[in-house]
Amino acid sequence: MIWTAAFRTAVISPDEPIRFSEPRAFAGQTVRQTLHLAGGGDLLRVLLTNRYGRTPLAVAAARVATGHGQAALTFDGAAAVTVPPGTEIASDPVELPVSPGTDLSLSLYLPEETGPATGSHMAMETAEVAAGNQVAAAALPEAERVEGRFFVSGVDVRAPEGTAVAVAFGDSWFEGVGTTTGANNRSVDFLNRRLTRGWVVNQGIAGNRLLRDGVGEHAGARFDRDVLSVPGATHVLVHFGINDLGLPGMTGEPPVTAGALIEGFQALAGRARQAGLKILAATVGPFGGAAYPGISTPEGLAVRREVNDWLRTAGTFDAVFDVARAVENPEDPDRIHPALDGGDGMHLNDKGAEAMAGAVDLATLDL
């Protein structure tokens, strides 16, 4: 039995130049969050993060619960812990068996001013925030409901050695923007429902790019931390390109060329193979007619088509899953099919996320 990632959520700095939600801070409050586990095991531990914090993060009490039990978290045997800026801390192991698909409730009592929180800004999940120490309360009826995740980066479980774990490494099409909040209908969730052994943990960041920072560090900069350091990782799935092609039109940056994107994809493939990971790549999804000014341009869409032709034919990856064809409008392939559109021309709804998951050939994933 070994420690294996059962849940991941990629975090960003509250100081990002581009954000799609406002940073939050807490003081004298309990923050309760639901973590939908991809995998299961007989023991678990929770990873708290203050990676981008400006001050030490004081956690005076922490507790986890499922529909079958609950337990207080400890840290080196203590009920309270302080997480220094720039670091993460794992809890002590907890004897709380969990299965794949379990919703784990994590409650943190934050007694002091936290400063702007390190967190996941578009997690498609809602946290509850209540006054005082209420980590042991069965319900928080007076709580404020806030979208996002805060001060948590993962959950590990003790699982059999050899359990296969894939990391979904990419942008909002993995994180789940456009799907129903709280319904666990991200593309990664749908993919996990198709699997009979092993699972996929989600390291998507809405707005993330392959080549440039802007919403989180770019893929190359965060690959070691968000892929290679994931315990038990055997595979990585990548979906990048939409933000590389679209965001320059909003930010005034120079446009990205097909050659630059291809070089970036080749670099990821090389690093994955060097680490012994199997790597699968998605074709770049359609974003024609996106509702955001400057995102959808004829030049960017032309580069998308060129890069997708290369992805389908180059043989650079162990496999390619053709998300673009799975969700495109056959009458206008640069646009998402209307039945799969999350409403902004750039993100997938629940049915679209399911179609994206369905594009993965399970034989090539080998989970």
Verdict on whether the full-model pTM lies above 0.95 = yes
| pLDDT confidence bin for 367, thresholds 50/70/90 | confident
Residues 338 and 193 in one domain: yes
Phi/psi at 289 (5° precision): 75, 15
Residues 119 and 16 in one domain: yes
Question: How far is residue 263's CA from residue 274's CA, in Å, rounded to a whole number?
Answer: 16
The stretch 7-17 carries a mean pLDDT of 94
| pLDDT confidence bin for 277, thresholds 50/70/90 | very high
pLDDT in tens, 38-60: 999 999 999 999 999 999 999 99
Average pLDDT, the chain: 96
For residue 107, pLDDT over 80 is answered with yes
Residues 186 and 76 in one domain: no
Q: What is the pLDDT of residue 17?
A: 79
Q: What is the pLDDT of residue 333?
A: 98
Residues 148 and 295 in one domain: no
Q: What is the pLDDT of residue 120?
A: 96
pLDDT in tens, 127-172: 999 999 999 999 999 999 999 999 999 999 999 999 999 999 999 9
Residues 143 and 248 in one domain: no
For residue 21, pLDDT over 90 is answered with no
Residues 257 and 136 in one domain: no
CATH number assigned to the domain comprising residue 252: 3.40.50.1110
Question: How far is residue 346's CA from residue 172's CA, in Å, rounded to a whole number?
Answer: 10
State the distance between the two ends of the chain, measured CA to CA, in whole angstroms: 18
| pLDDT confidence bin for 366, thresholds 50/70/90 | confident
For residue 204, pLDDT over 90 is answered with yes
The stretch 100-123 carries a mean pLDDT of 97
Residues 234 and 357 in one domain: yes
For residue 181, pLDDT over 90 is answered with yes
Q: Is the Cβ–Cβ distance between 286 and 327 less than 8 Å?
A: yes
Alpha helices (H) along 252-349: 258-274, 298-313, 323-327
| pLDDT confidence bin for 214, thresholds 50/70/90 | confident
- Looking at 87, 122, 156, the residue that finishes a domain is 156
Residues 127 and 172 in one domain: no
Residues 82 and 179 in one domain: no
Residues 53 and 140 in one domain: yes
Residues 38 and 60 in one domain: yes
Question: How far is residue 61's CA from residue 97's CA, in Å, rounded to a whole number?
Answer: 21
| pLDDT confidence bin for 18, thresholds 50/70/90 | confident
In the chain, % helix, strand, coil (3-state, to 5) comes to 25, 30, 45
Q: What is the pLDDT of residue 81?
A: 98
Q: b vs e for 338-364, b when ≥16 Cβ sit within 10 Å of the residue's Cβ? A: eebbbeebbbbbbbbbbbbbbbbeeee
Q: What is the pLDDT of residue 207?
A: 96
